[in-house]
Amino acid sequence: MSNKPSVAGLANVLYIDLTNETSKVVERQDLHDKYLGGTGVATMLMHEEFKEGTDALDPESPIVLSIGPLSGIFPCCTKVVAMFRSPLTGEFGESHAGGRLAMAMRFAGYSSIVITGRAKRPVYLSIYNNDIRFKDASSIWGLSSTTNIGKILRNVEPSAGKRSIIRIGTAGENRIRYANVNVDTYRHFGRLGLGAVFGAKNLKAIVISGDGEIEVPSKSAYSKIYKEIFTNIVETDLMEKYHNLGTTENILPLNELSGLPTRNLQQTFFEYAETISGENFADNYLVRKISCAHCPIGCIHIAMLKTSFGPSHEYEVKHISYDYELVYALGTNLGILTPEGVLELIDRCEQYGVDIISIGVVLAWATEMSMQKRSTTEETKGVLLKWGDVKNYLRAIDLIVESPNEFYSALAKGVVFASKKYGGEDFAIHAGGLEIPGYHTGVGNLVGLTVGVRHSHLDNGGYSIDQKAFKNNLSDEEIVDMLIFEDDIRGVLTSLAICLFARGIYTYDAIIEALATIGIERSEEELIELGRDIFMKKYELKRKFGFDLDDVTFPSRFFETASTNGMIDEARVQNVLSMYKKRRWGADRT
């Protein structure tokens, strides 16, 4: 199993110490031989680097960024895995981003970057091959737009078009617990607050590029497999939906299936779903599709928001990327009726650099608090939140990022913190401390979010299992088995940092063939075992961070609103959870 890869330069880890402004490169063949890369290698680096008891925003709290062995070499292997202790949940933080970062890291020569310490002043990192510079970022600290940060750095750094620029906005600087890291304007390390960790390190941005070359053992074998995979991507319908309407394709089907959380999950269908559907966005707002570096799909959908600002046909035009989760979080879940409203809210969040799912849920909770008159106008600084009111939501987003009083500071710490402090825990819709994504499909989703290592819908796709259950009536045992299967195979895919949208392309057979062309021999059994092993290693980390599956509680809202599969019974959820634990860890853990 641990055949040494015959390709050089795929196991280099760049260690950055911000406190002392030093760096070193270490070849970690040992880790890559066993864990391939991506989430596997990042997990092991986190085990090495994290010292128990270190707070998420402590200078010594490490950040790990990892790509996989296929990154830059095969199409759709476009993701970078970030790992950190989450300042939002206090536990395991993992987030994935596309854009150009994976390609840039590969050709700069690094499979992972480990960042520790805290810079004495605001800095940005400039990385070009082995030239690592710590540059003063004082003049861009506090700048109100993440887009402009990119524009400024683009002008002072080399390698136009092939570099990646990742940066935080003021939300990260202010350590909003769900601040994100913007990657190349339109992509993000979105969830769990990596932006706040950057902020706590005084790290404003990283600009990275390189002009490396990778030698594969057999060019003809490589070219043959490459072409097969490429053809599958562009000439079959396996990825068509991502290119056509993009992820917002899901709005109408989930609405029809009553799985689309609306107005803080008081219901699961939206009366105006047609208006903010993927179809309407594509027909009337979509102006451009772009792709992550080395992916021929082009799933990044860019809408044009044209707003009049004067009587003489004066317009301002903004280009804004949109996706399903954003249309849920700042659309249905806040009762926003128009695409313009949704886009305006997305843009505001983008410029500050906050995770849109989290802030959407926080705003939805605050709306119910406000409507039930459980928050005072003094606390809200006169902002009266009500469903569909774009103007007040914009104001509330400003105030959360600014955090001028105790109330908004609490909102900036997430829905769990805010609801513990002010009440309304029954309708603080989170799983494992993380604000929920846009699905209320049934037991599979709820248990999937709860047991998933990062409490993300992408951990095991429980929402998709529920949709299968809706059609074919799955037993609880089958649901648990499917969750475990997905947890593990997605561990393999993300160790290769393959975009999960390409999971239909990269079957075990395709993965095995692709790996073989760069000299890595693995059997299907070995890969399955690797996925399981990584899951277990992540749970070891989760326990170090203080997570215990036995302590999980659910807001009652989950059991009061009908899902795709009808009302969800809490006792059944607990039962499925016990079953999951038993199958994962054996009887002793339940």
For binding to other proteins (CB under 8 A), which residues are involved? 72-73, 75, 99-100, 103, 107, 147, 150-151, 154, 160-162, 184-186, 211-216, 219, 222-223, 226, 230, 234, 289-298, 319
Q: Give the strand order in the sheet containing 187-189.
A: 131-136, 123-128, 203-209, 164-167, 181-183, 187-189
Q: Which of 241, 235, 335, 339 is nearest to 285 (CA)?
A: 339
Are 82 and 64 within 8 A, CB to CB? Answer: yes
Minimum CB–partner distance for residue 313 and other proteins (Å): 24
SS3 category, 101: helix
Q: CB-wise, 293 or 482, nearer to other proteins?
A: 293
Separation of alpha carbons 422 and 419, rounded Å: 5
Minimum CB–partner distance for residue 463 and other proteins (Å): 28
Are 342 and 363 within 8 A, CB to CB? Answer: no
Q: Which residues contact 139 (CB under 8 A, 6 or more apart)?
A: none
Between helices 476-495 and 570-585, what is the axis angle to 10°? 50
Minimum CB–partner distance for residue 300 and other proteins (Å): 8
Q: Which residues contact 482 (CB under 8 A, 6 or more apart)?
A: 444, 465, 468, 474
Q: CB-wise, 7 or 562, nearer to other proteins?
A: 7
Q: CB-wise, 35 or 107, nearer to other proteins?
A: 107
Minimum CB–partner distance for residue 154 and other proteins (Å): 5
Q: CB-wise, 209 or 333, nearer to other proteins?
A: 209
587: number of Cβ within 10 Å = 8
Q: CB-wise, 307 or 523, nearer to other proteins?
A: 307
Are 17 and 9 within 8 A, CB to CB? Answer: no
Q: CB-wise, 213 or 509, nearer to other proteins?
A: 213
Cα 511 from chain centroid? 23
Q: CB-wise, 36 or 410, nearer to other proteins?
A: 36
Q: Left if phi > 0, otherwise alpha if psi is -120 to 50, otherwise beta: which for 541?
A: alpha
Q: Which of 344, 385, 390, 381 is nearest to 362 (CA)?
A: 385
Minimum CB–partner distance for residue 72 and other proteins (Å): 7
Minimum CB–partner distance for residue 150 and other proteins (Å): 6
How many residues would you count in the chain?
Answer: 590
Q: How buried is 315 (Cβ within 10 angstroms: 0-12 exposed, 13-18 middle, 19+ buried)?
A: exposed
- What are the residues facing 563 on neighbouring strands? 566
Minimum CB–partner distance for residue 162 and other proteins (Å): 6
Question: Which spans in 257-338 are helix H?
Answer: 278-284, 324-329
Mapping DSSP onto H, E and C, the string for 507-566 reads CHHHHHHHHHHCCCCCCHHHHHHHHHHHHHHHHHHHHHCCCCHHHCCCCCHHHHCCECCE
Q: CB-wise, 298 or 388, nearer to other proteins?
A: 298
Q: CB-wise, 206 or 443, nearer to other proteins?
A: 206
Minimum CB–partner distance for residue 393 and other proteins (Å): 25
Separation of alpha carbons 356 and 179, rounded Å: 9
Q: CB-wise, 30 or 215, nearer to other proteins?
A: 215
Minimum CB–partner distance for residue 303 and other proteins (Å): 13
Minimum CB–partner distance for residue 293 and other proteins (Å): 6
Q: CB-wise, 160 or 571, nearer to other proteins?
A: 160
* Residue 97, token pair as written in the block: 């981003």
Minimum CB–partner distance for residue 350 and other proteins (Å): 12
